[in-house]
């Protein structure tokens, strides 16, 4: 999903950089606060970042006959809230831009905005809404991760359509084109990401109930909390 | 296999199926280069929309070949998987350690009647740690 190096006009690149910077700065503050207040979070923070690392390295074939990769940002957004994910996502994007020539430094702002800010916030929003509506935890986790993934690619399509409007049909025509490439390809991948995030959340329910309770993801329900089936 | 393990395996199989189905159905057949990256398609679309657009910045480092690039992607996945595995390993070790400590304390207790109760506590113990 990363917009390749040099593929955004300088003005757009600068604007997305300026839009992303405050979120990342705020995220760094939130991250240091979390680590100071709860040093035991460090390990799970690392695991959340690692999940993004794994998923964004997996290029998976999709229904459109092309390959794309998940983002893995839904998990961290649900566990630690989106500001912290802005930092973890940026680290992943920097790794890929510097070592893999995947994405880029000039497009980093735009890529951070789609993958590390818009995606996590959308996923977190869906997760909170479904929780308020009383949906079972694993259902909320699935859709949170699904939308974190899909929205990332929709935002990328918008970013490219803004920079390269179709000469005839303008922004909308161009958006249709880019969404056809990114968003459509991403639907089965977003399902995959949802399922993998549910899997990791199930493992966390078994191994780290205390962390999940402290982070407000799981609730103590009289001794039953150790059984993930109860949450399904 | 426990019910938990069955559900987890099913989740993994579903993910694998989602990745294999497009390949098995030959959904890339009509394309010049099937199953290339969506990023490359987007670059092609940009060149189509604005033929005179030239990327104005080049990556500082570019993997010299597709093989090296694959290796670096594999490294990225391995790093992530390693940290995740480390996390779950540490958690499991802590849980087992706590359970053993409780079991040992229970074995040391003089009343035999108290032991099963303490063992029970050992099993629910992880929820209360930290």
Contacting residues of A for B36, CB less than 8 Å apart:
66-67
Q: Which of B12, B21, B38 sits opposite A66 (nearest CB)?
A: B38
| CA dihedral over B9, A211, A70, A53, signed as positive or negative | negative
| CA dihedral over A140, A146, A149, A154, signed as positive or negative | negative
Report yes or no: B6 at the A interface, CB cutoff 8 Å. no
Place of tokens 């079972």: A136
Contacting residues of A for B84, CB less than 8 Å apart:
47, 50-51, 54, 200
Are B46 and A164 a contacting pair at CB < 8 A? Answer: yes
pTM score, two decimals? 0.88
Nearest to A159 by CA among A54, A5, A42, A9: A9
Report yes or no: B126 at the A interface, CB cutoff 8 Å. yes
Cα–Cα–Cα angle for A126, A131, A135, rounded to 5 degrees: 105
3-class DSSP assignment, residue B37 = strand
Cα–Cα distance measured from residue B46 to residue B10, given in angstroms and rounded to the nearest whole number:
40
**pLDDT at residue B108, rounded to an integer:** 84
Nearest to A69 by CA among A167, A149, A179: A149
pLDDT band at A118 (very low <50, low <70, confident <90, very high): very high
In the predicted structure, residue A105 carries a pLDDT above the cut 80: yes
Name, in order, each residue with C-beta under 8 angstroms of A141's C-beta and a sequence gap of 6 or more.
Answer: A74, A78, A127, A194, A197, A198, A201
Cα–Cα distance measured from residue B122 to residue B6, given in angstroms and rounded to the nearest whole number:
25
In the predicted structure, residue A89 carries a pLDDT above the cut 60: yes
**pLDDT at residue A225, rounded to an integer:** 43
Contacting residues of B for A95, CB less than 8 Å apart:
76
Q: Where does residue A103 fall: left (phi above 0), alpha (psi -120 to 50 degrees), or beta otherwise?
A: left
Mean of the per-residue pLDDT values for chain A? 92
For residue range B75-95, what is the model confidence (pLDDT) as tens digits?
A: 999 999 999 999 999 999 998
Residues 71-110 of A with CB under 8 A from B: 95-102, 104-106
User: What is Dmax (Cα atoms) for chain A?
Assistant: 63
Cα–Cα–Cα angle for A132, B12, A90, rounded to 5 degrees: 65
Contact A63, B37 (CB under 8 A): no
């Amino acid at each position: 999903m990363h917009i390749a190096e040099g593929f955004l006009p300088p003005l757009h690149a600068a604007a997305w950089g300026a839009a992303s910077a405050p979120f990342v700065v705020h995220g760094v503050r939130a991250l240091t606060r979390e680590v100071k207040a709860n040093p035991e979070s460090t390990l799970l923070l690392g695991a959340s970042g690692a999940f993004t690392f794994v998923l964004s390295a997996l290029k998976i074939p999709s229904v459109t006959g092309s390959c794309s990769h998940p983002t893995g940002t839904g998990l961290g957004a649900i566990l630690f809230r989106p500001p912290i994910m802005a930092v973890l996502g940026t680290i992943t994007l920097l790794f890929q831009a510097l070592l893999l020539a995947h994405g880029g430094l000039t497009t980093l702002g735009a890529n951070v905005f789609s993958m590390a800010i818009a995606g996590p916030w959308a996923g977190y929003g869906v997760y909170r809404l479904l929780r308020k509506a009383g949906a079972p935890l694993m259902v909320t986790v699935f859709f949170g991760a699904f939308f974190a993934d899909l929205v990332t690619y929709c935002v990328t399509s918008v970013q490219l359509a803004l920079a390269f409007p179709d000469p005839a049909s303008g922004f909308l025509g161009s958006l249709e084109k880019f969404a056809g490439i990114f968003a459509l390809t991403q639907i089965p991948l977003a399902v995959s990401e949802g399922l993998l995030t549910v899997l990791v959340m199930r493992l966390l329910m078994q191994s780290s109930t205390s962390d999940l309770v402290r982070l407000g993801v799981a609730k103590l329900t009289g001794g039953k909390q150790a059984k993930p089936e109860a949450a399904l | 296999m426990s019910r938990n393990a069955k559900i987890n395996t099913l989740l993994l199989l579903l993910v694998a199926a989602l990745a294999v189905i497009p390949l098995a159905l030959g959904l890339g057949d009509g394309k010049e280069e099937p199953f290339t990256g969506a990023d490359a398609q987007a670059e092609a679309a940009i060149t189509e929309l604005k033929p005179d657009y030239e990327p104005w910045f080049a990556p500082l480092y570019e993997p010299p070949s597709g093989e090296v690039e694959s290796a670096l992607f594999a490294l990225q996945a391995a790093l992530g998987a390693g940290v995740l595995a480390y996390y779950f390993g540490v958690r499991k070790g802590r849980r087992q350690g706590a359970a053993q400590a409780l079991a040992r304390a229970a074995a040391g207790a003089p009343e035999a009647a108290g032991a099963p109760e303490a063992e029970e506590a050992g099993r629910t113990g992880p929820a209360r740690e930290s």
